Chain A
Amino acid sequence: MTYVIQLVTAFIGSLGFSLLFNVRRDRLFPAAMGGLLAWGVYLLAGLLTPWDVPRFFVSSLALTLYAEIMARVKKSPATVFLVSASIPLIPGGSLYTTMQYAVSAQWEAFSSQGMNTLLLAGAIAGGMLCMMAILHVFHRLYLLLR
């Protein structure tokens, strides 16, 4: 049940952000689906590892692939889908916990939680870049063999 709520709210959250970022009406649904997909992959990756960083990385790989495919299908820049789909992954919760430690002067916990927040953001960016590099290689190979 928790998972269902998370998936539904990931969808609505991504939809809301797409609206705020003025995404075109006919791209709203695929953009919001990206958010659901990103969180779905994150939950599935939980079967393999409980650690958040690789789960974020895998999820980011999947959402980048999705965004690039959607960009081809809908003929618009991949950023449109990439930005909307990565919304549920933004480490807001981890950041909040980090600052809670800072305000209560628990500096040890602050630095490890802060490191965790940075690692999560790095995992998202790293996943995007890896998938883009993979797609770039495939594109070059396709051009070569065509």
Chain B
Amino acid sequence: MCPHPDQQAVDYANEYLSNALSIGEQMLRSGAEVSRVEDSIRRVCLAYGAERVDVFTITSSIVVTISGKAFGTVTQTRRISGLQFDLRRLERLNELSRLIAERLPPMATVESALERIRSTPSHSFPAQLAIWALVSASFTLFFGGSWRDAIASAIIGVLLKCVDAGLKWLELNSFLAALLCSGFGGLLSFLAVQWGLGDSVEKINIGNIMLLIPGIMLTNSLRDLFNGDTISGLLRFLEAVLLSMTIAAGFVAASVIGG
């Protein structure tokens, strides 16, 4: 390493490293696998002139150390919180990192692109309600429910989405929120059958469970595990298993207590 690194080069290195981390952070939050995140960060840093890049990512944090003759060694860490699946954002981040590796745009361009990606619009709340109704109704039918079950399931799906949004706003502990939300769902489906709106509590519940359980987190975590990213894989796997058990337990318990 150079004993007196040039201050300007150090600042530049810090700047692109910070942007590379922002890309990685957002990719991880949008639902990318660990290996993809590490790969993107490495490619961006190498493109901007780092000679060696060491990335270590687990689900809740990213650590990157880059080194080069001009700036010595620079390390930055980023704490990651909150998972929000967004495949459009993921796609755009992927495009951005590829563009960086090809054309080396100036930092200001990268920052404004990141800002634009961060504010990618998602569906409005009413649209999300409609989608929840559609999905829960179709999974109730998928698992063998009747048409009446599907209608009950759609109505409950809409109510659950409202409760879910309310609980998110309260920033409650995620397991407690999941338990409350699913317990409410179980209770509603029990009432729906009691009032003759649906035929089977079980089928109505399954339709709604599909929306709440972190199924993708579960398969992603297993992929991370088998990819050799053992720590991240285990962390996410445990989180997914605990969360899905909590949710299923909430639904079942409410129906059992009710019945």
| Chain A residues at the B interface, C-beta cutoff of 8 Å | 2, 5-6, 8-10, 12-13, 16-24, 76-77, 79-80, 83-84, 86-88, 90-93, 95-96, 98-100, 102-104, 121-122, 124-126, 128-129
Contacts and interface: CB of A to CB of B under 8 A. Distances in A.
Interface string B135-148: 10011011110000
* Closest CB pairs A-B (n = 4): A125-B222, A90-B215, A16-B135, A99-B248
Contacts, number: 137
Contact of B248 (A9, A96, A129): A96
Interface in B207-237: 209-210, 213, 215-216, 218-219, 222-223, 225-227
B109 to A, nearest CB: 22
A129 B223 contact: yes
Given A16-B131, A77-B91, A129-B226, 11 more contacts: A13-B139, A13-B142, A20-B123, A21-B87, A83-B216, A92-B143, A92-B206, A104-B256, A125-B219, A125-B223, A126-B222
Contacts of B144: 2
In this complex, the interface size class of chain B, counting residues with CB under 8 Å from chain A, is 35 or more
Contact of B209 (A76, A84, A95): A95
Nearest to A16: B135
A17 B87 CA distance: 11
B142 A9 contact: yes
A5 B149 CA distance: 14
B24 to A, nearest CB: 15
Q: Which of B36, B87, B142, B252 has the most CB of A within 10 A?
A: B87
Interface in B114-154: 120, 122-123, 127-128, 131-132, 134-135, 138-139, 141-144
Contacts of B127: 19
A104 B131 CA distance: 33
B90 interface: yes
B138 A12 contact: yes
A137 to B, nearest CB: 16
B239 to A, nearest CB: 14
A99 to B, nearest CB: 4
Contacts of B249: 99, 102-103
Given A23-B88, A125-B223, A79 B248 contact: no
B139 A92 contact: yes
Contacts of A24: 87-88, 91
Contacts of A103: 249, 252-253, 256
Given A22-B120, A103-B256, A13 B131 contact: no
Q: Which of A2, A100, A126 has the most CB of B within 10 A?
A: A100
12 contacts: A5-B142, A18-B87, A19-B123, A20-B123, A23-B87, A24-B87, A80-B87, A83-B31, A96-B206, A98-B248, A99-B245, A103-B249
A80 B90 contact: yes
A13 to B, nearest CB: 5
B32 interface: yes
B135 A95 contact: no
A117 to B, nearest CB: 9
A56 B43 CA distance: 35
Contact of B206 (A8, A21, A93, A128): A93
B256 A79 contact: no
A87 to B, nearest CB: 7
Given A16-B131, A20-B135, A124-B219, A10 B142 contact: yes
Q: Which of A5, A80, A93 has the most CB of B within 10 A?
A: A93
A102 B251 CA distance: 12
A79 B33 contact: yes
Interface string B29-43: 001110010000000
